Amino acid sequence: MRTPLIAANWKMNPAPAGALGTSSPYRTHAAVDVIVFPSFLDLKECLAAKLIAGPQFASPEEPGAHTGDVSMTMIKTLGCRYVLCGHSERRADHGETDADVAAQVIAALERGMHPVVCVGESQEQRKAGKEKSVVKKQLAGLPLESDITIAYEPVWAIGTGKTATPADAQEMHAYIRSLLPENRRNGTRILYGGSMKPENAEELLKQPDIDGGLVGGASLKPDDFGKIVEIAAAMQK
Ligand code: PGA
């Protein structure tokens, strides 16, 4: 039994109105784990409001001379338990490589944090039939025997309104699960990300190897996000 996890990736946006209030849909639910990934600016306020919040990136380096970065150690000290690693926008905008992402994941684990690691292929890679080999390579350097969460986010589905079909997503999720070591095969949660919204969440979350969602655009709309959480709650596997 894997408890569903629905995570909000607010990207470079302010916290949605009402997100910090008592009836916020971003609060953890009895049947569904809910996490928010705000910008660094909003992190402290989210934690103070008792949301489960983590950063969208943290540097594996120790605090020191790294202008513009925030270290995993500082994030841990702030009280975060979760951290997003290797989002495709970080890979594209900041040139993060698989090795960089692995270093972040290891640094998070060493500090007792839980990384949510993103993988996924581009449109060209899928067209060329390379989606599985791309994802396999992205996973290769990660400590898959550890307690981490994986988010499969096909790059072509992120923020585009295009979603992987439930069957294609399930196929990839099952493939990712097959690559996990035996000790983690049943326990590791694998989230789907890429234009998840209330209209498609049920079909996606119904798939046996899809354990939740990493939600971008729809996570900025509290009502839509709340609906996705309720759909996940109603679908307990
Ligand atoms: P999207 O973003 O839901 O807007 O496609 C998902 C993500 O980038 O994590």
* Residue closest by Cα to atom 6 of ligand 1: 216
DSSP 155: G
Q: Is residue 21 part of a domain?
A: no
Residues 6+ apart with CB under 8 A from 125: 131, 134
Percent with pLDDT over 90 in the chain: 96
10-43 pLDDT, tens digit each: 999 999 999 999 999 999 999 999 999 999 999 9
Whether 89 is catalytic is no
Q: Is residue 170 part of a domain?
A: yes
Q: Is residue 20 part of a domain?
A: no
Q: Is residue 215 part of a domain?
A: yes
146-155 pLDDT, tens digit each: 999 999 999 9
Residue 159 has pLDDT above 70, yes or no: yes
Top mutation candidate among 149, 214, 225 for ligand 1, by most atoms within 8 Å of CB: 214
DSSP 144: T
Tally the domains of the chain: 1
Residue 237 has pLDDT above 70, yes or no: no
Q: Is residue 16 part of a domain?
A: no
Q: Which domain holds residue 134?
A: 5-9+27-234
49-89 pLDDT, tens digit each: 999 999 999 999 999 999 999 999 999 999 999 999 999 99
Q: Is residue 151 part of a domain?
A: yes
Q: Which residues line ligand 1 (CB under 6 A)?
A: 9, 153, 158-159, 193-196, 214-218
| CA nearest neighbour of 216 among 6, 29, 3, 40 | 6
DSSP 217: G
Task: Report residue 3's pLDDT band, with 50, 70 and 90 as the boundaries.
Answer: very high
Task: Report residue 235's pLDDT band, with 50, 70 and 90 as the boundaries.
Answer: confident
Q: Is residue 38 part of a domain?
A: yes
Q: Is residue 100 part of a domain?
A: yes
Q: What is the CATH number of the domain that holds 76?
A: 3.20.20.70
pLDDT value at residue 1 = 82
Q: Count of alpha carbons within 13 Å of 134, Cβ hemisphere only?
A: 21
Q: What share of the chain is helix, strand, coil (3-state, %, to 5)?
A: 40, 15, 45
Tokens of 6: 């629905």
